Amino acid sequence: MPKVITENQAISCDVAFIIGRFQVAGLHEAHKKLINRVRDVSKKTIIILGLSPVKNTRRNPLDFQTRKKMLQNEYPDIDVYYIKDVADDYKWSKFLDEHIESLTKSTQKVLLFGSRDSFIPHYHGKYDQVELDSDTFVSGSEQRDKISREILSSDDFRRGVITAAFDKYPTSFQTVDMIVQKGNEILLGKRNTEPKYRFFGGFVSPKDESLESAAIRELTEEAGSFEKGAPQYLGSIRVDDWRYKHEEDKILTAVFLVPYVFGRPEPGDDIDEVRWFHINDIGQNLQPEHLDLWLKIKQKVLGSSLDTR
């Protein structure tokens, strides 16, 4: 049975595998101490990097090749590979073992090395593991946060920003738009920077529990805490937002009908004025991107659900 070996035990092996993420701009002293410690007790050292399926995030900003070059620049004799993250620890352990088997001989003694808070609690494979301790602790999260606030004046910095932009997947940003109904009237909002009115809405937050909760949150922020009925989903539409007109990224909005119940709407957030309009006057008073939304929703869904007399 595989076991976790403490660092203070006498350890040696033919092939040592360091399993880690190394999501840093450069190897710090704690990294170097751990790698050097492993090299001291092994004939050959290999590093396997975790590879997230989600690219270019705050937790995993660096791709595999970038981290490989960083490691081999400091340790050119160490081979660097990757293993993809999967949801199930047992499947991940199986894939890791298969990868290790492809890189070693059955006669070789193999040990897996990781630092504190490493892969070890998630590993259920067949190889013994060594948990390395360190008297130097550097938080990768804090380091990344600090770097994110630094703007450097160099070609390398600008090249990195461009590379990151091209490395991410094209995104469809999720928004919500609300059509607030009171009989034959619709409530609209207006910004001082725009000539016409718009439906209330905005981007869905990762903290929102559902599109419906996002709809109520946005409506309350922009039109006040008047009493509202439950949002009724009408459909989803891609919005021709001018900010993304020439971008690969686009906006997809979910449209909700929200019945007005009681109270006085008040402008808030980036809305400077709220006003009721008869349904027949909606089209001529809407911003272009919301006019397109209105025509699609009115034609496909609202024609049978609103009294247009």
65-87 tens-digit pLDDT: 999 999 999 999 999 999 999 99
Please tell me the pTM assigned to this model: 0.77
- Predicted pLDDT of residue 212: 97
| Highest mean pLDDT: which range of 19-28, 90-99, 162-171 | 90-99
Looking at per-residue confidence, does 46 or 25 come out higher?
Answer: 46
% of the chain at pLDDT higher than 70? 91
Amino acid at 59: R
Nearest residue to 139 via CA among 18, 35, 37, 23: 23
Return left, alpha or beta for 117; rule: phi > 0 is left, psi -120 to 50 is alpha, else beta.
left
Q: Any idea where the domains of the chain sit in the sequence? A: 4-167, 172-304
Domain 4-167 identical in fold to domain 172-304: no
Q: How far apart are CA 201 and CA 173, in angstroms?
A: 13
The pLDDT tens digits for 107-138 are 999 999 987 678 999 999 999 999 887 655 56
- Predicted pLDDT of residue 117: 74
Neighbour-count burial of 67, counting CB atoms closer than 10 A to its CB (0-12 exposed, 13-18 middle, 19+ buried): buried
Q: How far apart are CA 128 and CA 110, in angstroms?
A: 8
pLDDT at 304 over 60: no
309 pLDDT tier (thresholds 50, 70, 90): very low
Q: How far apart are CA 74 and CA 218, in angstroms?
A: 50
The pLDDT tens digits for 272-282 are 999 999 998 99
Architecture in CATH for domain 4-167: 3-Layer(aba) Sandwich (3.40)
Mean pLDDT estimate for the chain: 89
- Contact present, 189 and 222 (Cβ < 8 Å): yes
Residue 95 tokens read as 């894939």
pLDDT at 208 over 90: yes
- Predicted pLDDT of residue 7: 63
Q: How far apart are CA 218 and CA 72, in angstroms?
A: 49
- Predicted pLDDT of residue 188: 97
N residues, the chain: 309
Q: What is the mean pLDDT of residues 240-262?
A: 92
* 3-class SS string, the chain: CCCEEECCCCCCEEEEEEEECCCCCCCCHHHHHHHHHHHHCEEEEEEEEEECCCCCCCCCCCCHHHHHHHHHHHCCCCEEEEEECCCCHHHHHHHHHHHHHHHCCCCCCEEEEEECCCCHHHCCCCCEEEEECCCCCCCHHHHHHHHHCCCCCCHHHHHHHHHHHHHCCCCEEEEEEEEEEECCEEEEEECCCCCCEECEEEECCCCCCCHHHHHHHHHHHHHCCCEECCCEEEEEEEECCHHHCCCCCEEEEEEEEEEEEECCCCCCCCCCEEEEEEHHHCHHHECHHHHHHHHHHHHHCHHHCCCCC
In Å, how far are 103, 140, 198, 226, 227 from 215, measured between CA atoms?
53, 36, 15, 14, 14
Overall CATH class of domain 172-304: alpha beta
Q: How far apart are CA 159 and CA 9, in angstroms?
A: 46
Amino acid at 237: I
